[in-house]
Structure 1
Amino acid sequence: MNKLIKTTVIAALLSTAVFAQSAEAQQKVGIVNFQAVFQNLPQARDIETKLQSEFKDRIEEIQGIEKRMSELREKQQRDASIMSPSERVELEREYEMLESTRQLKIRALREDTNRRTSEERDKLMMDIARATQTVAGDNDFDLVIQSSAVAHAVESADLTDEVLAKMTGGN
């Protein structure tokens, strides 16, 4: 019986020692504000310029339609008293056709622009994630969490500036 008590006490002490060591080996956790990194990157500002250039011809086409519509409205107001009823109807039909075409082209442009913006943004976010992994590895962090998921963290755990520096070549 005495031997059983000694064995139990020794087992309890060993298990306590094992748990104490694992509690001491805490994980190093960092945070990154992905949105702040994204907003401060020159590449993010370049996305808008790149897309404007990509869709320039389509934007100009829509502007041309709008200009033609304006010309038709001016003609209608200017020549209303001397136009025949059939000319008025023809002018109104052309205007309505242009308006329908304009709306379709605007909708298609908006959809394509949104899709391309998402593609470019996703690429940049993947680059930010890779830079975060590199910074975390370089600083021996076990876990990095987006700052939006954290209620409180010490300033020393924030890797946002380091990730931004890595992305801009500052590091």
Structure 2
Amino acid sequence: MKSLSRPSLWALVSALALAAPAFAQEFRVGFVNTDRIFREANSARAAQSKLEQEFSRREKELNDMGTSLKGMSEKFEREAPTLSESQRQQRQKQLIDQDREFQRKRREFQEDLNARKNEELQQVLERANRVVKQVAEQEKYDLILQEAVYINPKHDITEKVIKALNAAK
């Protein structure tokens, strides 16, 4: 193996030192904050509004059921000392059954809401990713990150993506 002479080594180091800034200027990195897109993009707000409309009736029913159950429980606590043992047991069993039904309905509601929310957010994310790709291609970015421990704000292109997403139909 041929070793480099001192002048050749210096020439190589000098060439690399001169080339490094040129390479660094050509490689463009951007960052997109997906949480911010989910909060600020019109499509994300529309999805949230759609979910609120879709689930508001069930949520109201659950809230009414919870309020009714609480009222019945308080009434039972007040009347329990004056009830016979069999009446107390019967009302307590009714309260337990109604609470169990309430918990089941609340759990089903939460599962349905989470499933629909995930569907809607997935659609928003897919649209956002298409817009990110368009921005990256138009502005000649080499790499776009969606998660990072730290990012210099000068690399954050979230605002551009939100504007493009809001402008697109």
TM-score by length of 2: 0.70
* Pair 1:138–1:95, CA change in 2 (3 A): same
Unaligned runs of 5+ in 2: 1-18
Q: Which amino acid aligns with 2:122?
A: D
Q: d(CA) in 1 for partners of 2:109 and 2:143?
A: 38
Provide the C-alpha distance between the structure 1 equivalents of 2:116 and 2:38, rounded to a whole number of angstroms: 17
CA RMSD of aligned residues (A): 3.0
Do residues 145 (structure 1) and 147 (structure 2) align?
A: no
* 91-100 vs 161-170, which moves further: 161-170
Deviation at 1:27, TM superposition (A): 5.2
Give the secondary structure class of the aligned counterpart of 1:140. coil
Hey, what does 1:101 align to over in structure 2?
Answer: 101
2:110 is aligned to 110
The Cα of 1:147 is off from its aligned counterpart by 5.0
Report the counterpart of residue 80 of structure 1 in structure 2.
80
Gaps of 5+ in 1: 1-19
Q: Secondary structure at the match of 1:31?
A: strand
**1:34 deviation in Å?**
3.3
Q: Is the 8 A contact 1:41 1:168 kept in 2?
A: yes
Counterpart residue type for residue 163 of structure 1: V
* TM alignment of 1:116-131, pairs within 5 A: 116-131=116-131
State the shift of 1:152 in Å. Answer: 5.9
Q: Superposition pairs for residues 14-163 of structure 1, below 5 Å?
A: 28-35=27-34, 36-141=36-141, 143-149=142-148, 155=154, 158-163=156-161
Return the alpha-carbon distance in structure 2 between the equivalents of residues 47 and 169 of structure 1.
Answer: 16
Cα deviation, 1:1-20, whole Å, max 9, x if unaligned, reads xxxxxxxxxxxxxxxxxxx9
C-alpha distance in structure 1 between counterparts of 2:153 and 2:108, whole Å: 47
* Aligned length, in residue pairs: 148
SS for the counterpart of 1:106 is helix
* 2:83 aligned counterpart, secondary structure: coil
CA distance in 2, matches of 1:41, 1:151: 23
Report the Cα distance in structure 2 between the residues aligned to 1:34 and 1:77, rounded to whole angstroms: 51
1:34/1:160 contact within 8 Å kept: yes
Does the 8 Å CA contact 1:65/1:98 hold for their aligned counterparts?
A: no
Question: How far apart, CA to CA, are the structure 1 residues paired with 2:37 and 2:58?
Answer: 32
Give the number of the structure whose alpha-carbon radius of gyration is greater: 1
Matches within 5 A, 1:4-15: none
* Paired-residue identity, %: 25
Query: 1:150 offset after TM fit, Å?
Result: 8.0
Which whole-Å CA distance do the structure 1 matches of 2:104 and 2:156 have between them? Answer: 47
